[in-house]
């Protein structure tokens, strides 16, 4: 096998010569077979892993064939030309194929692992830009900078709140705020559970689990926030969908700004 047959074959296995006319190389080999065979000398082959070295080290491709173990004395002018063509192909491939850039791991503003988990969850859902900043800013405020996904209070203040669906005795405490957006009330727990296939009516404590909390938060955001917000840069408009009384508006705005800056 001629040198350019060996090199072409090796390159073709790596996908370098796809569509580049490897068939023509075979024809050239047949035309020069007599020249090699008439010498009754072993046919030269490239050094072991020559091509790998070229690709890995990105050195001069012709340098790979300068190895003392590679006898070039039998190369005809056509053979030499073929080697140079292959070298050019390798150079072009290496030059046009940049090293893959690994994405930087997310660095949480609050230092919380829950923040990192929720951020990655949101990004995987396709949330980005101003909406991502609003989503993270609002959830940061609701969870006291991702320190808790369960409301600190007892929930007694929600007792008897028909607007939240709390029509049974004890509903206020049972369905107090949970999750990254702190959903409250029997109605919200019922609807979220129905849509997510979870029994949140009988087991509202499930929302205290980070994975369930993330799903419930996305459910609320998708159904209650997104449809009613035209501009996610408008913190007041976003906050109104989560807390109609606009409680903590200034802190929500500060948190949203911090997450906006973090994206830049």
pLDDT averaged over every residue in the chain: 79
pLDDT at 146 over 70: yes
Binned at pLDDT 50, 70 and 90, residue 244 comes out as very high
Q: What are residue 183's phi and psi, to 5 degrees? A: -65, 145
Name the more confident of 30 and 76.
76
Sketch out the chain's domains with CATH numbers.
Answer: 3-96 (no CATH), 113-262 (1.10.530.10)
- Output the pTM of the full model: 0.64
Report long-range pairs for 12-19 (Cβ below 8 Å, ≥24 apart).
14/51, 14/55, 16/89, 16/90, 16/93, 17/89
What percent of the chain is modeled with pLDDT above 90?
A: 59
pLDDT at 67 over 60: no
What is the distance of C-alpha 207 from the center of its chain? 26
| pLDDT tens by residue, 191-204 | 999 999 999 999 99
pLDDT at 58 over 50: no
Name the more confident of 192 and 1.
192
Residue 142 is among the residues annotated as catalytic for this protein: yes
Q: Nearest to residue 242, comparing CAs of 190, 191, 184?
A: 184
Binned at pLDDT 50, 70 and 90, residue 100 comes out as confident
Contacts of 14 (CB under 8 A, 6+ apart): 51, 55
pLDDT at 132 over 60: yes
Report the phi/psi class of residue 5: left, alpha or beta, with left for phi > 0 and alpha for psi in -120 to 50: alpha
End-to-end CA distance of the chain, in Å? Answer: 56
Q: Kindly state the helix (H) or strand (E) to which residue 132 belongs, with its residue range.
A: helix 129-142
Binned at pLDDT 50, 70 and 90, residue 94 comes out as low
Name the more confident of 189 and 10.
189
Catalytic-labelled residue, pool 9, 131, 142, 173? 142
Name the more confident of 131 and 17.
131
């Amino acid at each position: 096998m001629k040198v350019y047959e060996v090199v072409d074959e090796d390159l073709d296995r790596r996908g370098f010569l796809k569509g580049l006319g490897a068939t023509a190389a075979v024809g050239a080999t047949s035309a020069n077979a007599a020249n090699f065979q008439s010498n009754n000398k072993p046919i030269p082959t490239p050094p072991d892993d020559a091509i790998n070295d070229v690709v890995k080290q990105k050195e001069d491709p012709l340098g790979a064939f300068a190895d003392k173990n590679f006898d070039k004395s039998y190369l005809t002018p056509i053979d030499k030309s073929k080697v140079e063509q292959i070298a050019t192909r390798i150079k072009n491939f290496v030059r046009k194929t940049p090293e893959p850039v690994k994405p930087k791991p997310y660095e949480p503003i609050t230092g919380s692992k829950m923040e990192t988990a929720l951020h990655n969850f949101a990004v995987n859902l396709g949330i980005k830009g101003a909406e991502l900043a609003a989503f993270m800013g609002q959830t940061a405020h609701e969870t006291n900078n991702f320190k808790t996904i369960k409301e600190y209070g007892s929930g007694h203040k929600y007792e008897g709140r028909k607007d939240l669906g709390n029509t049974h005795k004890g509903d206020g405490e049972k369905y107090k705020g949970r999750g990254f957006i702190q959903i409250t009330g029997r109605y919200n727990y019922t609807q979220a559970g129905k849509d997510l296939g979870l029994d949140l009516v009988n087991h509202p404590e499930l929302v205290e689990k980070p994975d369930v909390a993330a799903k419930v938060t996305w459910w609320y955001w998708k159904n209650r926030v997104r449809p009613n917000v035209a501009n996610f840069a408008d913190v007041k408009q976003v906050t109104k969908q989560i807390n109609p009384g606009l409680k903590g508006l200034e802190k929500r705005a500060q948190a949203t700004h911090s997450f906006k800056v973090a994206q830049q």
